Amino acid sequence: MQITDTIHFVEGRDLDSNMYLIIDSNNDLTLVDTGHDGERRYLIEYIEKIGLDPANIKNVVLTHVHIDHCGGLGWLVKKYAPAVNVCEIEAYAIEEGDLELTLAGMMRGYLDPVHVDCQLKDEGIFAFGDHEFEIHVTPGHTKGSICLLDRQNKILISGDTVFADGSFGRVDFPTGSAEQMQSSLDYLATLDVEVLLPGHMNVVLHEGTKHIKASARMAQMMI
């Protein structure tokens, strides 16, 4: 599904994460989250279907390191050698193949250790080609969860911090925190967001801030 002229949504299947392709003017690609390893087939098919070359995947950005968001990373790096971008708080889990923080052990999976090229920092900038995203560390689901904000176009890629329709990420996994989740949601609710692109379930194309505020209110009642 095409979200804007330069952002495509590849919906996750079963319990795997959504993925987002960001295209620059040279048709180079940044992939936000990889899904589980099994996602790679239809991801590659989608890229080819829209007339682009998977070999042009130049960057992978992880919103956090759970295996349903990063399980395909090892294969992609071996095949296409993109730069790997992960929050500095969780980079070690990717480089060490940490089975607990990534939930790979829980899912009886294996995670190839992968070198992290760039450790993303809170309030830093991820820029490539014509695009610029602010990095916002939003702990709660995991300690190093991030959201990417395109402030100019009012687009938020939110990982598993906040979803559509008043939903938000679980806080009962390793390094999760109900208190931090509430703080993160309250902060995100202050942003001007039109398009909300979450790690699971539906995308929101209009009035994204309305959905985030609903999630912050729901969290106050539930966690």
Q: Give domain limits for the chain.
A: 7-222
- Is the distance from CB of 84 to CB of 116 less than 8 angstroms? yes
Report which of residues 48 and 40 the model is more confident about.
Answer: 48
Distance from C-alpha of 6 to C-alpha of 8, rounded to nearest angstrom: 7
pLDDT at 105: 83
Quickly state the pLDDT bin for 38 (edges 50, 70, 90).
low
Distance from C-alpha of 220 to C-alpha of 17, rounded to nearest angstrom: 25
The set of residues, in sequence order, having a beta carbon less than 8 Å from that of 222 and lying 6+ positions away, is none
Distance from C-alpha of 199 to C-alpha of 163, rounded to nearest angstrom: 7
Of the candidate ranges 32-41, 47-56, 66-75, the one whose mean pLDDT is the lowest: 32-41
Q: Taking the CB of residue 190, how many other CB atoms lie within 10 A of it? A: 11
Q: Does residue 14 have a pLDDT over 80?
A: no
- pLDDT single digits (tens) 129-146: 889 999 999 999 999 999
pLDDT at 164: 97
When the pLDDT of each residue in the chain is averaged and rounded to a whole number, the result is: 94
Report which of residues 50 and 111 the model is more confident about.
Answer: 50
- pLDDT single digits (tens) 144-190: 999 999 999 999 999 999 999 999 999 999 999 999 999 999 999 99
* Order of strands across the sheet that contains 195-198: 125-128, 131-137, 146-150, 155-159, 195-198
Give the CATH number of domain 7-222; options: 3.40.50.150, 1.10.3720.10, 3.60.15.10, 3.40.50.10420: 3.60.15.10
Residue ranges of the alpha helices (H) in the chain?
40-49, 67-70, 73-80, 91-96, 178-188, 208-222
Range among 41-50, 98-107, 152-161 rated most confident: 152-161
- Is the distance from CB of 214 to CB of 207 less than 8 angstroms? no
Strand partners, 119: 86
Quickly state the pLDDT bin for 191 (edges 50, 70, 90).
very high
What residue has token string 């890629």?
157
Distance from C-alpha of 58 to C-alpha of 39, rounded to nearest angstrom: 18
Candidates 46, 37, 69, 93; CA nearest to 158 is 69
